[in-house]
Structure 1
Amino acid sequence: MRFDSRATLARTEVDVAAVHGVADRLAAAAELIDRALADHLARLTFGGAGAGRAHAARGDALRVQLERLTAEVSQWSRAAVETAVALRAGADRYADAELYAAARIA
């Protein structure tokens, strides 16, 4: 689009189906992450006692990092779900606006 002309009209197009597809893939990724957290990462338990006396501090440090990783991945999953919801809502509002505009023209 050229902006050096006075007759330039701004035009926006949104591929609603593609946006819904992206939202679906984000939601599916979040679901996969949630299952991995529940089935694998959350069950990893390790600490100083399991590491033995010589490595207790390192075992505790590993446990702390596993807990941090679990929390951060869970936070990413929630953000992905929220993003998917927002994408769907935006695409739906755009589609509704298109239908409304088309009805007014007709």
Structure 2
Amino acid sequence: MNYIKWLEEWYKSQCDGEWEHLYGVKIETLDNPGWFVTIDLADTELEDKNYDGYQFINEEDDDDWITCRLKNGRFEGFGGPSKLEEIIQRFKEWAQQ
């Protein structure tokens, strides 16, 4: 499964001439190091959907961690430097439940 391609298609499906001017998807790096992904849910089919979140921390490897949650109308995913794909995977699995 190509999760980047899936996210591109999800984003494209939200674009209606208005949504993309107010909302979007951001992929940023963290200085610890890691990734931070923010996906706006306002005016999407997901804006009222519940999510219990997800967290995993490998105490033996400082780079092996991930946290996903909903906050302020957004899906937020944080993770170690090799967790970008898993963050997007977690979003996809939740979005398609």
TM-score of the two chains, using structure 1 as the length reference: 0.19
User: Which structure's relative contact order is higher, taking Cα pairs within 8 Å and 6+ residues apart?
Assistant: 1
TM-score of the two chains, using structure 2 as the length reference: 0.20
Give 1 or 2: higher helix fraction. 1
Whichever of the two has the greater Rg, that structure is 1
